[in-house]
Amino acid sequence: MISRYTNPEMAAIWSDENRFKKMLEVEIFAAEAMSKLGIVPKKAVETVKKKAKIDVKRIAEIELTVKHDVIAFLTGVVETIGPEGRFLHLGMTSSDVLDTATAAQLIQAVKLLIEETKKLSIITAKLAKRYKMTPVMGRTHGVHAEPMTFGLKVASWYSEIMRSLDRLNFALETVSYGKISGAVGTMAHLAPSVEKYVCQKMGLKPEPVSTQIIPRDRHSIYFSTLAHVGACLERMAVEIRHLQRTEVAEAQEPFTKGQKGSSAMPHKRNPIISENICGLARLLRGYAVTAMENIALWHERDISHSSTERIMFPDASIISHYMLVRMQGLVSGLNVYPQNMQVNMDKTKDIVFSGTVLLSLVDKGVSRENAYAMTQDAAFDARDNKISFEEASLRSQDIKKYMKPEEIKKDCDVKSQFKNIDYIFNRTFKK
């Protein structure tokens, strides 16, 4: 991933240094397990642990000749050890090392994503509670529907963030599996205790039935989860983009001192953070599709998956982390304009309470079809003659037959829409 979208914490997890470190851990733990079985001398294991070093440049240099990343890794490490290096990788295949090391990296990555998602949930919860009872126009199809509160809008974001957190925790459990089972998973040259020992030391569980690799449905869950996280952030970003439009102007991204919005138009303050997040979410969905296609391989394995995974594992993880951190900054610095929300609500006056009056008419015995026709006529009267819906209802002979003026007035009060906001917040933000 390009440096523009890379934060150091996640980049470190997917660095060559960390990857080779995890691969070396797998090899050393396997040698330790074999020493307990008398296959590898204990002194040789101590020598390996003491002398083994990783030289990323040397490994890359060797790979230019051998054209095999694990062989290059082993050759480079053995050069730093000496004769005892021959006890590494006994009975093992490349995927024993790669897949188990990758699982360890995935645990690091998911835990970091969980941490950042929790931070975002806290920031979002504070914003929701701050504007819990701030009226804003709810829109469907981009058109004024009924009043809601800005806090309720943000509470919906929070609720989805928490579901993303659940998915990340599920993904963490799903990818936490390793394998030390040999060429086609038969353990023909390895004792089961070796796999058990290595996985325990790496914080993993043994894959129940591995082929030459860990089945890729596990990884597809990870990438699908990242796509869901991206979609969650995109939903927030799309809403903020709409709210920042000049014609709406109800909320606006933070704009720092010295920031410039356009090279040609100095007045511009564009929703660049939200737009950036929307674009990156598309990449995550693409990776999820590729991960699904990686599940079906020829027989016990081929390497059609590995070329994509070299890109996907670091890139998708880094992008997701970047998006979560950037959304934290956006939500924490979001400018909210309640006065503009009220101005926009006033554009359609109280016409948006037609549904409330409709229900009152039904409650008084009017059929829903007739009640709909009555309130629609009043709504169109209000719109065409630029009067309030309350006034239009009061001069509707049909509505006046069933409702008193004070009842109409009550139904046209925004407070009538918010009587259950406390209930929704209480069940959403459980202590």
> What is the set of active-site residues?
141, 262
| Number of neighbours of residue 237 by Cβ within 10 angstroms | 26
Cα–Cα distance between 103 and 199 in angstroms, integer?
Answer: 10
Q: Which residue has the tokens 């990296």?
A: 105
Coil, helix or strand at residue 207: coil
DSSP code string of 369-412: HHHHHHHHHHHHHHHHHT--HHHHHHT-HHHHTT--HHHHHHHT
**Please, are residues 117 and 168 in contact by the beta-carbon 8 Å criterion?**
yes
- The values of phi and psi at residue 372, to 5°, are -60, -45
Task: Name the β-bridge partners of 149.
Answer: 135
Cα–Cα distance between 312 and 286 in angstroms, integer?
Answer: 10
Apex CA 157: angle with CA 149 and CA 350, to 5°? 20
Residue 403: CA atoms inside 13 Å, Cβ hemisphere, count? 29
Cα 319 to Cα 95, 137, 316: the distances in Å are 26, 33, 5
**Crossing angle for the helix pair 150-175 and 421-428, to the nearest 10 degrees:** 20
Q: Which residue has the tokens 């459990």?
A: 173
**Crossing angle for the helix pair 306-332 and 217-244, to the nearest 10 degrees:** 30
405 Cβ neighbours under 8 A, 6+ residues apart: 394
**Residue ranges of the alpha helices (H) in 52-93?**
56-66, 69-81
The pair of three-digit structure tokens given for residue 129, joined into one six-digit string: 């509670």
Cα 58 to Cα 63, 84, 191, 239: the distances in Å are 9, 20, 32, 50
Q: Which residue has the tokens 């919860």?
A: 125
Cα 346 to Cα 117, 356, 380: the distances in Å are 37, 17, 16
Task: Name the β-bridge partners of 335.
Answer: 252
For 67: left if phi > 0, alpha if psi spans -120 to 50, otherwise beta; the answer is left
Buried b (16+ CB within 10 A) or exposed e, 162-175: bebbebbeebbebb
